[in-house]
Amino acid sequence: MPLKSIEDTQAQLGSAGYVSDRRLATAVFLSLRLGRPLFLEGEAGVGKTELAKALAASLERPLIRLQCYEGLDIASAVYEWNVQKQMTAIRIAEAAGGADRARLERDLFGAEYLVRRPILRALEDPTPPVLLIDELDRADEPFEAYLLEVLSDFQVTIPELGTIRAKNPPAVVITSNRTREVHDAVKRRCLYHWVDYPDAARELEILRVKAPGAAEQLSRSVVAFVQKLRTLDLYKAPGVAETIDWTRALLVLDTVSLDPQSVNATLGVLLKYQEDIARLAREDLAALIQDAGSVAA
């Protein structure tokens, strides 16, 4: 269903389980209305990928996801030819006594032998999907250059078939964890939004949605504790995803309130680097918990 306004966008994302602020809802709304890709940048675990999932649910459209990685190429992202099927067709033609060479070549590079990867599927889908190009910063720069045609004109060029243009362009969401800078040419074709860590009020609202079984006081203490951790000199501060996972882990352990023992036992859920765990072990956990408790009260 179409999103009618910024308020409607925020409400529909919320109904899909995603708690957004007004600035992010505005970026999503404008991206859809203007037909421009949305480029989301921010630390890992702040909800960039989840936004694309929630958007697909809100629009009642399929989600097509392209997970980027080093060495990603056109054959994996856009299309490739089914060489095995082509070779089989050649052998069948030879066994039948041969065939018109020019016609065989045309047939071998027809749609029947084309393997459609995420980008091409998104362009050809009659129901415009949400195309998630996830963690573009992990891909190589030549792949970014290839994306320019897709992002500008919602089309790809296949030498043997010509240009394939989307009749109903997908809604495109691109994410980056900023492990390297993505080229300006890509960003210029998109609407840009930096997804930051949420403030305490919004993070608490997120927990109410994602971990509804947690008692209000526990949720408040967890949020206050995590917010405090983000002010420390850590290699990787915990994201929202870690806040949710940690709360769920505490619930599994029947934890009613934070204490040094329960926090110390579950640090591997909250922090992902040994250096950060060791750094926190040198802190006075009791004092940190007490500070969090006073903020949460």
CATH number (domain holding residue 129): 3.40.50.300
Q: Is 45 exposed, middle or buried (0-12, 13-18, 19+ CB in 10 A)?
A: buried
Assess whether 211 and 261 both reside in one domain: yes
pLDDT digits (tens, 9 = 90+) for 172-207: 999 999 999 999 999 999 999 999 999 999 999 999
Assess whether 107 and 246 both reside in one domain: no
In the chain, DSSP finds a helix count (H) and a strand count (E) of 16, 9
Band the pLDDT of 284: cuts 50, 70, 90.
confident
pLDDT digits (tens, 9 = 90+) for 220-238: 999 999 999 999 989 999 9
d(CA 27, CA 173): 11
Number of independent structural domains in the chain = 3
For residue 107, is pLDDT > 80? Answer: no
Task: Tell me if residue 131 falls in helix, strand or coil.
Answer: strand
Tokens 């697909």 locate to 56
Q: Is the dihedral of CA 118, 122, 127, 128 positive or negative?
A: positive
Q: By residue range, what is the domain housing residue 236?
A: 200-291
Task: Tell me if residue 262 falls in helix, strand or coil.
Answer: helix
Assess whether 218 and 261 both reside in one domain: yes
Query: Count of alpha carbons within 13 Å of 64, Cβ hemisphere only?
Result: 21
205: in domain: yes
d(CA 145, CA 133): 14
**Of the candidates 127, 162, 194, which is a domain's last residue?**
194
Cα–Cα distance list, 56 to 17, 49, 116, 151, 259 (Å): 12, 11, 21, 19, 40
Lowest mean pLDDT among 103-107, 133-137, 166-170, 281-285: 103-107
Band the pLDDT of 40: cuts 50, 70, 90.
very high
Whole-structure pTM value: 0.90
Assess whether 104 and 127 both reside in one domain: no
Query: What tokens were used for 236?
Result: 């990787």
Backbone angles phi, psi at 194, to 5 degrees: -90, 120
Q: Which residues of 88-112 are buried (b: 16+ CB within 10 A; e: fewer)?
A: ebeeebeeeeeeeeeebeeebbeee
